[in-house]
């Protein structure tokens, strides 16, 4: 989806797709100005025992925007992204990222796993990826 397509999030899904009613109820409580934060989307998934991708689809079908990506990649107002390249990348971080690469990219889920394993912030992994010129792909919520 390009920026020109913004606002037609439901169009990413097959015609006739329906939002999960229970997920929609929770999201409607959490929505602020037509947006749901990445953190609240994941809290919803955990609370309702749903897959994050299913929550992401319901977000799309409700035409909400996802904000404040936990990797800093999108959803931060006019700046859009806040992640910056790390000044230095620790060797163990570089190795963990390189081991997680698939077709030269790292998935959002793999970034989260690297952060968990190394005991660091998710944004630290994203910053290391920026410094290493590694693209992050396959958002767990389906945003990219």
Residue 2 pLDDT class (50, 70, 90 cuts)? very low
Q: Let me know whether 18 and 60 are in one domain.
A: yes
Nearest to 142 by CA among 22, 45, 29, 26: 45
Structural domain span for residue 63: 3-68
Q: Let me know whether 105 and 56 are in one domain.
A: no
Does residue 79 form part of some domain? Answer: no
Q: Let me know whether 7 and 63 are in one domain.
A: yes
- Each residue of 101-132: pLDDT tens digit? 999 999 999 999 999 999 999 999 999 999 99
CA distance 79 to 16: 34
- What's the structural domain count of the chain? 2
- Each residue of 52-109: pLDDT tens digit? 999 999 999 999 999 999 999 999 998 899 999 999 999 999 999 999 999 999 999 9
Tell me what pLDDT residue 6 has: 63
């Amino acid at each position: 989806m390009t920026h020109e397509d913004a606002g037609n999030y439901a169009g990413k899904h097959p015609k006739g797709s329906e939002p999960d009613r229970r997920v929609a109820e929770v999201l409607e409580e959490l929505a602020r100005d037509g947006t749901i934060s990445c953190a609240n989307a994941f809290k919803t998934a955990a609370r309702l025992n749903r897959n994050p991708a299913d929550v992401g689809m319901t977000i799309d079908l409700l035409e909400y925007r996802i904000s404040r990506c936990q990797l800093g990649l999108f959803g931060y107002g006019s700046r859009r992204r806040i992640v910056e390249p790390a000044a230095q990348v620790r060797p163990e971080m570089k190795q963990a990222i390189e081991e997680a690469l698939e077709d030269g990219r790292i998935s959002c889920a793999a970034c989260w796993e690297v952060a968990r394993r190394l005991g660091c912030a998710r944004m630290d992994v994203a910053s290391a990826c920026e410094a290493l010129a590694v693209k992050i792909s396959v958002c767990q919520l389906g945003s990219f």
